[in-house]
Structure 1
């Protein structure tokens, strides 16, 4: 199959939001797929639909048919060359319609999954042929979910389509940015339990552990300040974290990552990367499921289940329930956690062309012995410390517990013309209970004395409401097929924090003897600490028109209104009518290779304050990118090379030695003329039917206008590799993750300039799975095989945090 055969005119739907105050006009040119038309849908249509497709070349008629049905057709364009079609008029089911169109052409369609067909020549003696339709290997997981292709059950490390970058449903090769999709199969093979685990294995993206609050993510030298769920951004600040980075991957089908700026869809944001968590859906008409139990080091045990199926005879109403419970200790003294997870969702085919999905998810983490901050870097004489990895600054009563509840519903309708409308509502409620103690200072090297303590008790409440509406409109001009997407997104987030002051305080004493038995102080009355509301309204349009068979241009724009107000803000901060343009040009060199260039603006209001207590001005800049992409081995293996340049002003940098007035928060200054330049290489997919692979390398340089390096706490070079091979009942795999040096410049207790540094290090991971029967399997994952000792964070408040030592996990899974 050629590269062209997998290119798609994938059409997405949505509805325009009428409340935009600003007029939004976008003219865009975009090349769709040159040959094999592919259209995506949320669920396979089985009932008859009325068609009125005019006659024309067979490939164009098939393209219109696929667009109307939501069917995915993949084929070599040479198969349809010179063939004509009388079109299709009347009412047919999708398979009946496809049968009619292929009748007499010498072609047949092999059904690989619901709504997914491969076109081939009819060979003599071909078995199981029913007219031109042949039933092949089928997986209910390979349907569509509104943004891209569902990966669950595919056995693949890649996906056929994604929409995180532009809301156009594009393959990775058609997207004019550097992208990664972490599929369900890769998540399962690597035993990735949290979003932080996933991020640690995405090329060019890194995670840094803070303390009990979780982790911070970064890419291309900048912090990632939001997570998307089904394409809708959710923002948070590390200081008021409510478990966002500890989200369990059991809830999700896949994780899509678009590196670089993504303001067209997300609006305000850093030019680092967009991480989109795509939920599992109730997409199975048959009763199916799995249950699993596991155990790992530090007495950690878990059990989970995932059950789905039809709720009526036809399967037009479907349900799914996912749940898990995990309890265990940690390599850090005193630390333990108890996690409860639940997802309940339904899917309903209201009509043959209309699908409704709704659900609720809940995750609760109840840790004990949560740390606030890290370990001291220096002794009081300025010499470096060297603690055991299990050392903690937590007390035995401290906790950073969290609860996250998400309610969501979406509706998608497909018209016979191919136009699609999509609307979604969601509400997330996050609560956190922070009863903590922060140890600061530098202990005496001999006595261990000299550390101070600052206990605090905070309650955090965060609620975010989202509206997501968009329309996908296909149209043809000049013998080419195009797509226009227009939409609007509205979000309103309220953050409220409360504080109880400590009324009593014991001495820390000798830090060498610290075992957490620090008396919990008496607490004052609960009082309002901060309250703020952030509102964002954005309208966007993006189009893809074919300029010529090998050339397409994606161009669009977004207009954003952004406002923050509340007692902790002072005067409201408003930014109205911020325009974020986007453009990408893709050229197909041949059936294997394509090249692209893209551009977008950067806009991101900042939460950091300077030494005078004023908020820094918004981050502004430009993002340029160019690259080469390729598909090998009949499109089973994707490869890409991306080079980029990011220019921005007002980048927040720590103002060493200064604090925000009236607080213990570090002050920041705005660095001007910051430039980040780098490149990324990635290979993902299957080398053979039994051999999966994902690998990547990234490197960047980030400097300010004076040529001084910025954000040095981010490793400049990273590499990753993971591969599995299946033979008979065994699947064996392994990989590495490597990072170069990272550091922070600071002043030590002796008054000397010093560097808090983590040298380059490598982590090696292994996995093995044995299939006892088609239903029962056992899997072993070993992380950090050689027990590498490393810091997971350097310089956060001039302190240190250690990464996890060697860990082994064994699991038993039964599918039914």
Structure 2
């Protein structure tokens, strides 16, 4: 589901229709007062709300006060307000604005209110959950859509947040509830719910990698609260996430250039924050093999009005997996602190993760003289017992927002990461139909250092009847990394009958020590203009970007360094046909860092110049309150790269033209029945290849169809019991630009159940699920779509997941 942009307050002059109840909710990210302050009505502060329509005045006051206000638009249509200026409590401010309107405030929760006619003050109203949001959206403040699996709003970098119905982009925001209920341990587990996203690396591998709309997305391109390069490079633990935003299509206007230049879309992880309700949870878990672990989640607010917050999440999990001699051990600790002031909001996140994997699986490479092997015949781990992957990441970020005035906000963020990675691995390159391959051990180390920052201002104002939200931001990203290692004597093995080879001893060759520096800088300006009471929204923007890359090999300056810059324009338009239907279109450009030749090519580590990608998209969003639908048609073009099958040289060859259609559904159409799923169709064509050799062929590693269908059912007569089911399908894929080798389409079915109950004051949730119920063996992916890391990804065998969460 698309998520949202922090937006200016919206005028509430929305037209109601006969026999149709319309509603909207005005939500704020920061609850500035504690529950006792609401009850005692003690908090007073200065407010200035200009005269105007009653809906606009109420919106503005809710934005400044940090409360949630829900109402029927028909109640305020045509009404005016004299505004207010002075020192008020929340109740007093609303009373002043509502004076003489025949309406009054009715509390519906902690810091949440609704409006009712005076004569009906005792009646409760059902409110359509459309939201209008001002300020920064973070933590648990993002309201969930019906069913709780996705959020109505999410972070969109430069443009902030806005309800998905007001967003001219395709975006889905998954909630922490979905993370818990799916027992997602890493980002790769979570994205299985999205038909536009697929994993392209084995679940028991060294690292995670994905495709969005058919284009590669690396873990290093996943942002953390809008900052690139902060999160661990190889695997991201989901226990740290409050929300996960997935935007489809080039998004450089929103977030700037990503470290690896992903263009099919972007993923943003939003950290957890302490909410107004204290949380103390412990989760014990068990997964197939003998993986056992525990996680803690503790959050509190302190100080006057709960100004200070602290949230800690910690994880420890270790044990053998379903694969021979494979063991995974992971540790995570993330501490989040935040401050909510009258005008100033601060937060900081400090984290450390470690992940050790013994015998990690590799993609299976297919030689020119070998056919595609049968995945159904692979029953053992073909990785050697001595192979390993050790990753160690320490990261941190500081975010700040300051309301200079009621219509001007300044913000900024800085972040850093230090990582050490150590691998002892080998490729699995099949040379014949019998599945033979050569084990050539390689010791590979990578040390990374990242520093990143962003700063900007956001201004809301009107020019006559036209509203504006102007955003100006600057970004800077720096990363240096050092690669090194050694090669060892080779030995034969087989995909179907792996042969144990000796543990590597004396190196036969030392690899050069490669040092690389990346510097990305940019300035972006965007204006969202609102016409006809903001029923028509037009976003125009551009980002200037500069990409600088330098590298050295054994201290010798490389000849592939570059320093290039470009201005990338973008535009989006959204028309609210009604409160239930929005139509949108966008044009997005993105500059990406050049590709890096993979280890499987003879020109390994060669860096190519930056390139530009372009997307055109049109779509529609339909919100029924309990269930939502989105549809989009898109086209993305970018240069194509390949590793030549004969010469093994990696380089550009033509262009990829991905034309597709996406459909999605989410929500709770019937009480106790929740749906989450969709379908993506892609016609991916190669054009302008060398000599026209591959023109018209389908691009590698791009299925024609992806389908996801997930459902949850609360068993009516067993309070607290929920049954879950999910089906996932991807159609066939080609391995190469020549379309000479192909893997079959596949399906995966998951089943599960959870049971929630109380033992005295302790909330208990038991979860059990089985992934890949039928234990099918298949090739889940033909590799990375950009061919930077070609090869087949083997499916994960049937996996049992158990967990118990205790909430104190």
Please tell me whether the aligned partners of residues 675 and 704 of structure 1 are also in contact (alpha carbons under 8 angstroms). Answer: yes
- SS at 1:720 equivalent: strand
Tell me: higher relative CO, structure 1 or 2? Use CA pairs within 8 A at least 6 residues apart: 1
Residue 186 (structure 1) shift: 1.8
Quick check: 1:522 aligned with 2:506? yes
Question: Which of 84, 88, 95 is the matching residue for 1:92?
Answer: 88
1:291-330 equivalences under 5 Å are 291-312=282-303, 314-330=305-321
Give the TM-score normalised by the residue count of structure 2: 0.86
Query: Could you tell which deviates more after superposition, 427-436 or 264-273?
Result: 264-273
**Residue 186 (structure 1) aligned to one of 178, 182, 202:** 178
1:10 to 7, 11, 17: 7
Matched residues in 1 for 2:121 and 2:58: separation?
Answer: 26
Say if 1:700 and 1:716, in contact at 8 Å, map to a contact too: yes
- Alpha-carbon contact 1:9-1:33 (below 8 Å) kept: no
| 1:359 Cα deviation from its structure 2 partner | 2.1
Match for 2:331 among 331, 340, 344? 340
The alpha-carbon deviation at position 740 of structure 1 amounts to 0.9
Q: Which residue of 2 aligns with 1:219?
A: 212
The answer on 1:474 being equivalent to 2:488 is no
Report SS of the residue matched to 1:508. strand
Q: Deviation of residue 436 (structure 1)? A: 1.9
1:228 to 223, 228, 242: 223
Secondary structure at the residue paired with 1:96? Answer: helix
Match of 1:743 in 2: 734
Q: Is the 8 A contact 2:140 2:273 kept in 1?
A: no
Q: Which moved more, 1:272-281 or 1:108-117?
A: 108-117
Deviates more, 1:66-75 or 1:55-64: 66-75
Match of 1:263 in 2: 252
Residue of 658, 677, 682 corresponding to 1:700: 682
- In structure 2, do the counterparts of structure 1 residues 764 and 443 end up closer, same or farther at CA, with 3 Å as the change threshold? same
Query: Aligned residue for 1:120?
Result: 116
Mind listing any 5+ residue stretches in structure 1 that lack a counterpart? 1-5, 13-30, 129-133, 137-141, 236-241, 661-666, 748-752
Q: Deviations over 1:584-619 (max 9, x none)?
A: 111111221111111122321212359778644432
Match of 2:426 among 417, 426, 437: 437
- Alignment CA distance shift 1:813-1:144 (3 Å): farther
Give the gaps of 5 or more residues in structure 2: 15-23, 35-42, 128-132
2: distance between equivalents of 1:199 and 1:258? Answer: 12
Q: Per-residue deviation at 1:490?
A: 0.9
Tell me, yes or no, if structure 1 residue 246 matches structure 2 residue 235: yes
Further displaced range: 107-116 or 676-685? 107-116
Instruction: Find the partner of 2:194 among 192, 202, 207.
Output: 202
SS in 1 for 2:675: strand
Cα distance per residue 1:357-390 (max 9 Å; x no partner): 112111111111224443x658977684566444
- Number of residues paired by the alignment? 753
Q: Is the 8 A contact 1:765 1:782 kept in 2?
A: yes
What corresponds to 1:664 in structure 2? none
Q: What whole-Å deviation, never above 9, does each CA across 1:749-798 have from its counterpart, x for those lacking one? A: xxxx94141x2222111221112216112111121122222113336777
Residues 530-549 of structure 1 correspond to what in structure 2 (within 5 A)? 530-549=514-533
Which residue matches 1:721?
Answer: 709
SS in 1 for 2:426: strand
8 Å contact 2:465–2:531 — kept in the other structure?
Answer: no
Asked if 1:805 corresponds to 2:797, the answer is yes
Query: Does 2:679 align with 1:690?
Result: no
2 CA distance for matches of 1:275 and 1:8?
A: 15
Query: Aligned to 1:606, which of 582, 587, 594?
Result: 594
Question: 1:555 aligned to 2:540?
Answer: yes
Tell me, in whole angstroms, the C-alpha distance in 2 between the residues paired with 1:196 and 1:189.
15
Offset at 1:720? 0.8
Report the 3-state secondary structure (helix = DSSP H, G, I; strand = E; otherwise coil) of the residue aligned with 2:440. Answer: strand
Query: Structure 1 pair 217/251, CA: closer, same or farther in 2 (3 Å)?
Result: same
Q: Secondary structure at the match of 1:233?
A: coil
- 1:456-477 Cα distance to aligned partner (Å, 9 max, x none): 2121111111112122211123
Question: Does 2:304 align with 1:290?
Answer: no
1:352 aligns with 2:342: yes
SS of 1:232 mapped into structure 2 = coil
**Contact 1:506–1:518 (CA<8 Å) still a contact in 2?**
no
State the match for 2:697 in structure 1.
709
The question of 1:777 aligning with 2:761 is answered no
Distance 2:709 2:228 in 1: 29
Change (3 A) 1:42 1:208: same
Contact 2:185 2:239 in 1 (8 A): yes
Superposed displacement of residue 232, structure 1: 1.7
Q: Any residues of structure 2 matched to 1:548-697 within 5 Å, and which? A: 548-549=532-533, 550-568=535-553, 570-571=558-559, 573-609=561-597, 615-632=607-624, 635-648=625-638, 650-660=639-649, 667-672=650-655, 674-697=656-679
| Structure-2 separation of matches of 1:510 and 1:599 | 49
In 1, the alpha carbon distance for the partners of 2:509 and 2:672 equals 62
CA separation in 2, counterparts of 1:779 and 1:279? 24
Change (3 A) 1:318 1:266: closer
